[in-house]
Chain A
Amino acid sequence: MKRGTTASIVKYIRPRTFPTPFCAGCGHGILLGAILRAIDELELDFSQMLFVSGIGCAGWIPSPHYNTDTLHVTHGRPVAFATGAKLFNPQLNVVVIGGDGDIASIGGNHLIHAARRNVDITVICANNLIYGMTGGQVTPTTPRGAHTRTTPAGNPESPFDLARLVAAAGATYVARYSVWHVRPLIASIKKALQHTGFSFIEVLSTCPTQYGRRNENPTPVGMLRALKENCVTMERAKTMSLEELTGKTIIGEFVG
């Protein structure tokens, strides 16, 4: 069987866990598959992989769906739990998957310190710009001016540039892609999984239910199209003026 295909990755899914709990149009299912495709193409020993996730929609990507060791922990703490498991058993291939609220807000301190320590784990942050599970509140990555349940007049605060934040903290592999850019995303996940040291991928995901419909982009297709149109590669960004870059998100490898 050709590796990386849907038929080939079904074996990684835990029995009795489908369908997923994700809303229609959620981008997390694409990421769920992309991670498994990367693992399958690399032919990694799935039984030696540990997936750690916290609270939030993205915490459900590995737990309960991935049929290997999964640790679903308290809100914001998956990176710290993962640090303990990895340090005690370095044979484990440890991957943290979480959302922007989990990883960058309540868990922000653990994130930057794990990057500084260069702990040999991979952190994949599914950034959908919103707290989805709790009903659509503002997060540290919500763009300025965006409407959420707790910023009805528009977000007055500036968001984190997560990839640059983690790069500055000392991570040795940092990339940003989106669930629209699946092929480069899979290639990046493969690199991160093989990387020795702290690797971080920010994956822009879509939440039409809690984010899109309050920000004039209520459809799943519309949100994916926005990712396609608003993301520019690092190479292309070098040729663009500051005005042209306004409102754009740079994707690619920041460190590594």
Chain B
Amino acid sequence: MDQALKEQEGLLERRQWTKVPSLLRPGRYFMQGDEACAEGAIAAGCNYYAGYPITPASEIMEHICRRFAQLPGRVFIQMEDEIGSIASVLGASWAGARAMTATSGPGFSLMLENIGYAIITETPCVVVDVQRAGPGTGQATRPAQGDVMQARWGAHGDYEIIVLSPWSVQEAYDEAIRAFNLADRFRVPVILLMDEGVGHLRENMAVPAETPIYQRWKDPSRPPFGEAEVPPMPAFGEGAKLLVTGSTHDAWGYRRTSSPQAQQQLVERLANKILNHREEIQRTHRHYCDESNLDVLLVAYGFTARSALGAVRLAREAGIRAGLLRLTTLWPFPEDAVRELGAQAYRVIVPEMNRGQMLREVQRVVPHAIGYHRTDGEVITAPEIWAAMQRALRSDKKHVLEGKEQER
């Protein structure tokens, strides 16, 4: 892209940001993770919600249903299934809505074809997946983090996607707002990957006075599917004569179903509009990571990061230089932060409630990382992780593992 166009887009990007007063009275609240996610969505201006009941995400739908009834101009519908839910969300998004749906693993599986459709048609929306133990029906009320790779790769074809994973009730609220803004900023579906632990957690959180909002760019004079890195998106009924298709298309939406150039151009632009803005999307948090060479670095996300922080504190009490790198953005994978801290740490451990989905990604940039896994539908505790840290530190070999840890 030439420099002038790039500068113009930078200007425009800044112009689209505004701040609006928060809907809830600013202050402290005692709230459930699912409810906080719903309140964050409402604060972000979510005005269309379609969903289907599923444990452990139903509270989001019920809370939105109750709250939308008090707020004008917001549409709630319980659809016939998850496929209908995501489809109607995408239809509403093109009609101008800030639209969302929430589900858990089985429903998320059903939504993935239309999430791929949202990617190729550049339709902003937020999809919440409150993970539970799978595969299949699995254990509906038990926590897990098994959908990390499904969120990344579940739709067919080659693409990049934004996935955010909150670790607390506060972050469920904050990241829901950020998810809506990123969705409209980059014209993408954004996955808010919660887990049952965070979804059903109740704790204190704070509502700020103002909520940042990114207004969708609507200029009908420029092509809605190309030219600009993130093209403008007018809504239906605004006279733009939109030609929207899930087939490969050119800048104005005309189908190009056998042109190699059109296919490549589209796939590359859809990926690059995310990859070129990694710094803006990636959010990580460093806890006790001040020393340059840590004895043990934990890399964790979601509910497990809470236990990881506890384990770091236990280690610190024992005189071990331990730190936690907490990932709030899972995809695009924050590899620079992981590489920087991981390369200097003697031991790197990735605890997660799956068989090592994020571990593999961490190992790509920090080959000596090892995992600590639980797949029994129970959360990982701080003492467990602390024990794993001690075992890793005692061993001479970099890859010796015991118990539930596995050799890689």
* Residue ranges of A at the interface with B (Cβ–Cβ < 8 Å): 14, 16, 47-48, 50, 52, 63-64, 67-74, 77, 80-89, 91-92, 109-110, 113
- Is A81 a contact partner of B87 (Cβ separation < 8 A)? yes
**Could you list 5 A-B pairs, sorted by A, with CB under 8 Å?**
A63-B243, A72-B246, A74-B87, A89-B235, A110-B83
Most B C-beta atoms less than 10 A away, residue of A52, A88, A110: A88
With contacts A70-B243, A70-B244, A89-B96 taken as known, whether A84 is within 8 angstroms of B87 at the C-beta atoms is yes
Select one of B50, B75, B83, B253 contacting A77, CB under 8 A.
B83
- Say yes or no for B29: interface residue by CB 8 A criterion: no
The count of A-to-B residue pairs whose CB atoms sit within 8 angstroms is 123
The answer to whether B236 and A16 touch across the interface, beta carbons within 8 angstroms, is no
Once the chains bind, are B237 and A88 in contact (CB under 8 Å)? no
Q: When the two chains form their complex, are residues B48 and A84 in contact, meaning their CB atoms are under 8 A apart?
A: yes
Complex CA gap A10/B94 in Å reads 26
Contacting A at CB under 8 A, from B76-100, are 77, 79-81, 83-84, 87-97, 99
- Return chain B residues, CB-CB under 8 Å to A67: 241
Contact check, B92 vs A84: say whether CB atoms are below 8 A apart: yes
**In contact, B246 and A74 (Cβ under 8 angstroms):** yes
- Is B47 close to A, CB under 8 A? yes
Q: How many B residues, CB 8 Å from partner?
A: 40
Besides A77-B114, A83-B77, A88-B75, 12 new A-B residue pairs in contact (Cβ under 8 A), listed by A number: A14-B241, A50-B95, A74-B87, A74-B114, A80-B84, A83-B91, A84-B92, A85-B236, A86-B95, A109-B80, A110-B80, A113-B79
Is B113 part of the contact surface with A, judged by Cβ < 8 Å? Answer: yes
Structural contact, A88 and B114, CB atoms closer than 8 A: no
A85 & B243 in contact (Cβ 8 Å cutoff): no
Q: 4 tightest CB-CB pairs across the interface, nearest first?
A: A84-B88, A84-B91, A80-B87, A81-B91
Q: What residue of chain B has the Cβ atom nearest to residue A64's Cβ?
A: B243
Quick check: A87 and B94 within 8 Å, CB to CB? Answer: no
Interface residues of B in 353-368 (CB under 8 A from A): none
Q: Nearest B residue to A60 by beta-carbon distance?
A: B255
Q: Which residues of A contact B236 (CB under 8 A)?
A: 50, 69, 71, 85, 89, 92
> B241 near A72 (CB under 8 angstroms)?
no
Nearest CB of chain B from residue A103's CB, rounded to whole Å: 14
Bound: A86/B93 CA distance, A: 11
Interface-central residue, A67, A68, A74, A92, by most chain B CB under 10 Å: A74
* B346 interfacial by beta-carbon distance below 8 Å: no
**Contact A74 B245, CB 8 Å, known A81-B87, A84-B89:** no
CB distance from B399 to the nearest CB of A (A): 44
Q: A14-B243, A84-B50 are in contact. Are A92 and B84 (CB under 8 A)?
A: no
- The answer, yes or no, to whether B403 is at the interface (CB within 8 Å) is no
Q: Is B259 an interface residue (CB 8 A)?
A: no
Does B30 touch A at the CB level, under 8 Å?
no
Whole-angstrom distance between the alpha carbons of A70 and B94 in the complex? 10
Task: Name the residue of chain A whose CB is nearest to the CB of B47.
Answer: A88
- A189 to B246: give the CA distance in the assembly, Å: 27
Most buried by A among B75, B87, B244, B253: B87
Contact of B239 (CB < 8 Å), options: A47, A74, A77, A83: A47
Min CB–CB distance B146 → chain A (angstroms): 25
* B79 surroundings in chain A (CB, below 8 A): 80, 83, 113
